[in-house]
Amino acid sequence: AYGMSALPLNLIKGTTSAAYERLENTEDIEEVEQHLLRIKSKCRDGRPLSSRDRRTVQQLEERLRTLRRRERHLESIEKSWWTKFCEAIRPLKIVWGVFFIIVALLFTVSLFLSNLDKALHSAGFDSGFIILGTNLTNPLNMLLPVLQTVFPLDYILITTIVMYFIFTSMAGIRNMGIWFFWIRLYKIRRGKTRPQALLFLCMILLLIVLHTSYMIYSLAPQYVMYGSQKYLVQCTCKTQLAKTGTERPALALVLFAFLSDQCIVTRTYLFLHKFWFFSAAYYFGNWAFIAVFLIGLIVSCCKGKKSVIEGEVDEEDSDMSDDELPVYY
C-alpha cells in the first residue's frame, strides 16, 4: 500500500541534482574539518583532551569519513552516462508516475466501494461479510466480466494487476526496509543487501502474491464468484387491468445471478464462504490497506526529492565498500 503511493510520486518528483548535492557535501566537509581543527587546537600545548572532546572528535571523524564516501559516489554519478540518460527520459518518468498514481487511485476506489458494499449489505462478522451479489459496483467489477467474454483479456488484466502489486511492493520495501514492529532489521540497498534481507524480501513477495489472489475477490467480487455467468429465469406474471377487470398474461425475462446449483461458483469463493473467518480477516485487512495507502500518499507528498545516492552510503559501511563502485556508474 505504501509503495503504491511512494513509487509514482518518486517518479514524478525525481531526484536532486548530483552537482547540487556535491556542492552541499563539500561545504559539510569543510565545516566538519574546521570543527575538528578547533577541538584539536586545545591540546597544542601538551594538555590532553577531555573525555567529552575525545568523544566529539571520534564522532566528527566518523562523520567526515561518511561525507568523503558520499563525495566519491556523487563524483562518480555526476560523470556517468546513466545520469545523462535518466535526465533525457525525465518526461517519460513523469508520464509513468501519473499513470501509476491513477491506477493506484482506481484500485483504492474499487476496494473502498467493495468494502462499503459488504459493510452495508452483508450479514455481518459471523458470515465473514460475504454478500451474494453486488449492490455498489466498481470499475474493475464491471470491466473483468466483460473482458472474460474475449479470451484472454481478463487473464492479461489479472496478470497486469499482480505485476503492478509486485513492483509497487518492491518499491515500498526498498524505501522502508524490513522491520519487526518498531525495530529495523535490514535495509534494502543496491549491491549491499545482506543475504538474510534478500530471503525476507522473497518471503514477503510470495505472501503478497498469495494475498493478491484473494484480494481480487474484493476488487471484483462478481468476476471471482460467477465470472460472466447469468442465470436465465422464465416466469409468468399476471397484471390486473382496472378498467376491464380481465387478466392478461405478461411474459418477463429476468436476468440475475445467485448462489444455486444453476450458477457454478469458483473454488476461491467457496474457500472464503466455508471458512468465514478468512473472509472477515481480509475484510478488515482491506480497510487497513486503504488507510495505509492514504497515509503513505500524504507522507510521500510532504517529503522532498530523494537523494541521487539514496541508500548507497551508510555510516556503518567501511571505506573498503567503495573500492568497487556499481558497474552502471
- Residue 72 domain-assigned (yes or no): no
Answer with the residue of higher pLDDT: 242 or 188. 188
179 forms bridges with which residues in the sheet? 184
Q: Helix or strand or coil: residue 116?
A: helix
**Comparing 66-70, 108-112, 239-243, 316-320, which segment has the lowest mean pLDDT?**
239-243
User: Is a pLDDT exceeding 90 seen at residue 294?
Assistant: yes
- Residue 277 domain-assigned (yes or no): yes
List the Cα angle 130/206/142 in 5-degree steps. Answer: 40
The model's confidence at residue 70, banded by pLDDT at 50, 70 and 90, is confident
| Torsions phi, psi for 327 (to 5 deg) | -65, -40
Rounded to whole angstroms, the Cα distance separating 10 from 310 reads 12
**Comparing 86-90, 113-117, 182-186, 304-308, which segment has the lowest mean pLDDT?**
304-308
Rounded to whole angstroms, the Cα distance separating 82 from 114 reads 44
* Predicted structure pTM score: 0.73
Q: Extract the C-alpha cell encoding 109.
A: 476506489
Chain-centre distance for alpha carbon 23: 33
Per-residue model confidence as pLDDT tens digits over 1-42 = 899 988 899 888 888 888 888 888 888 888 888 888 888 777
Rounded to whole angstroms, the Cα distance separating 240 from 101 reads 56
Pick the closest to residue 193 from 48, 277, 311, 107 (CA basis). Answer: 311
Per-residue model confidence as pLDDT tens digits over 131-152 = 766 677 788 888 887 888 888 8
Mean pLDDT of the chain, nearest integer: 78
Q: Cβ of 317: how many Cβ atoms within 10 Å? A: 15
- Residue 127 domain-assigned (yes or no): yes
Pick the closest to residue 215 from 107, 102, 137, 100 (CA basis). Answer: 107
Most distant pair of Cα atoms in the chain: their distance? 123
**Comparing 86-95, 163-172, 268-277, which segment has the lowest mean pLDDT?**
268-277
- Residue 55 domain-assigned (yes or no): no
Query: Cα–Cα distances in Å, from 59 out to 33, 43, 48, 56, 66?
Result: 12, 18, 18, 5, 11
Domain that residue 128 falls in: 1-14+92-229+259-302
Q: Helix or strand or coil: residue 238?
A: strand
- Residue 22 domain-assigned (yes or no): no
Rounded to whole angstroms, the Cα distance separating 66 from 77 reads 17
Stretch 95-100: mean pLDDT: 91
- Residue 159 domain-assigned (yes or no): yes
User: Is a pLDDT exceeding 50 seen at residue 52?
Assistant: yes
- Residue 140 domain-assigned (yes or no): yes
User: Is a pLDDT exceeding 50 seen at residue 295?
Assistant: yes
Please state the length of the chain.
329
Total domain count, the chain:
1
- Residue 248 domain-assigned (yes or no): no
Query: Cα–Cα distances in Å, from 22 out to 14, 68, 72, 167?
Result: 17, 10, 9, 30
DSSP one-letter string for 163-213? HHHHHHHHHHHHHH-EEETTEEEE---TTT--HHHHHHHHHHHHHHHHHHH
